[in-house]
Amino acid sequence: RSVYCRDPDGSLIEISSYEDGTT
């Protein structure tokens, strides 16, 4: 499962491992 977040720069970053809370 991948989660997409909006970067402050205006780019789209994909965040993986958004379930266990591991950064």
pLDDT in tens, 1-23: 678 888 888 888 887 766 665 55
Residue-level pLDDT at 5: 81
Residue-level pLDDT at 8: 87
Residue-level pLDDT at 18: 60
Residue-level pLDDT at 15: 78
Residue-level pLDDT at 7: 85
Residue-level pLDDT at 1: 64
Nearest Cα residue to 2 out of 11, 13, 23: 13
Cβ atoms of 13 and 2 closer than 8 Å: no
